[in-house]
Amino acid sequence: MAFVGQVGVADSEASRDAPTVYVCMTCRHPGEGETEPRTGAMLADATAQVAEGTDVRVRRIRCLANCTRGPSAAIRCGGSWTYVFGGLDIACGPALVEGARLLARANDGLMPWRGRPEPLKRGLIARIPPADYEDAE
């Protein structure tokens, strides 16, 4: 699978630049029981399967703190904005990979609305600026 564990020093620069999907593996739908595997873990598996053989990295993480609107995932690439999505389901793996690829191709670091898969339009939770962002005044 395309999961990436801890990033070492040697590949940290490549990791920062690669389009990356972070999938919360502890997520579940609101009201869903304590069943295993969690819906988030299944979404992570499905997303990694879709990303296999592409330039998109998929990383499992614990908790994006979006529990009331889970399952959740975040997408970022290099110095781009980071996007957080919620209300996802297992079938959203292709949408997450396509969103990561759209973001990677964006010259301005913003994921374009046009061409964005529907789950990433209706499930947008937040858009977070890059660490070096300076507001144009």
Residue ranges of the alpha helices (H) in the chain?
12-17, 39-51, 93-105, 118-122
Other C-beta atoms within 10 Å of 14: how many? 10
- List of domains in the chain: 12-128 (3.40.30.10)
What's the predicted TM-score (pTM) here?
Answer: 0.85
Cα separation, 17 vs 80, whole angstroms: 9
pLDDT tens for residues 21-79?
999 999 887 777 777 788 999 999 999 999 999 999 999 999 999 988 989 999 999 88
Predicted confidence (pLDDT) at residue 11 exceeds the cutoff of 70? no
